Structure 1
Amino acid sequence: MRRRTAREKALQALFQIDMSEAEPNAAIKHVLDDKENSDYLTTLVTGVIDNKEEVDKLIIDHLEKWTLERLSNVDRNILRVAVYELKYCDDIPANVALDEAIEIAKKYGDEKSSRFVNGVLSKIKETLESSL
């Protein structure tokens, strides 16, 4: 499974977890639709869940005139996956994490999602880079 596909499936699994409080493994299995799992998909989903408090705090700290709860479930989970990659996946260049999130937002979000995701993630990226 390509990493882009893993990111998209992670978004779908996290969306399902948000909406129905599904267990992570059940959500992953559901979105795979009998296709083979990838370690990266599992890493993204469990990583976001295990670090949700810290990931969400980073997002909240960089939202202007928005609350996390007010974001669409799609945008919120795209941001979560990308922030997890930015903060915890040293083998993923920051620009790749941003570009992937923007492309996924174009595909799954509304017409303003990609610009919104780009703005929030760019600020988070700057914060993380300045803290190194």
Structure 2
Amino acid sequence: MKRRTAREKALQALYQIEVSKAAADEAIENVLDGDEPDDYLTFLINGVVTHQSEIDASIEKHLQKWRLSRLSVVDRNLLRLAAFELLHSESVPSNVVLNEAIEIAKIYGDDNSSKFINGVLSNLKQNTEEGES
């Protein structure tokens, strides 16, 4: 599975976990629709679920005049997914994480999602590179 596909499936699974309170394993099974589980997909979902408090705190610091709870479910989980990759995946360059999140936001978010996601993640990326989060 391509990493872009893994990210899209991870977003779908995280959406299910939040909205329907599905367990991570159940959400993964649902989005795979009979396909074999992918290591990167599993890494992303389990990572976001495991580190959600830390990730949410990092995102909150970079939201200007917004609260995480006010964001759409798609935007919130896409930010979580990308923030997890920025904070915990050294194998993916940060610019790739940002570009992928922006492109996925164009597909699954609303008209303003990609710009909003870009702004928040750019700030998070800059602070992460400066040793903050």
Q: TM-score, normalised by structure 1?
A: 0.98
- What stretches of structure 2 of length at least 5 have no aligned partner? none
SS of the residue 1:120 aligns to: helix
| One-letter code aligned to 2:27 | A
- What stretches of structure 1 of length at least 5 have no aligned partner? none
1:81 paired residue number = 81
CA-based RMSD: 0.8
SS of the residue 1:22 aligns to: coil
Is 2:127 the counterpart of 1:127? Answer: yes
Structure 1 residue 13, shift from structure 2 partner: 0.3
Structure 1 residue 35, shift from structure 2 partner: 1.3
Distance 2:105 2:70 in 1: 17
1:60 paired residue number = 60
1:11 paired residue number = 11
2:99 paired residue number = 99
Query: Kindly, what percent of the aligned residue pairs are identical?
Result: 56
Distance 1:32 1:69 in 2: 28
1:20 paired residue number = 20
2:51 paired residue number = 51
Query: What does 1:23-38 align with in structure 2 at a 5 Å threshold?
Result: 23-38=23-38
Distance 2:86 2:43 in 1: 14
Structure 1 residue 58, shift from structure 2 partner: 0.6
Q: After superposition, give the CA deviation of every residue in 1:98-123 in whole Å (9 maximum; x if it has no partner).
A: 00000000000000000000000000
Structure 1 residue 37, shift from structure 2 partner: 1.4
Distance 1:67 1:128 in 2: 20
Runs of 4+ in 1 over 6 A off after TM superposition: none
The aligned length equals 132
| One-letter code aligned to 1:82 | A
1:69 paired residue number = 69
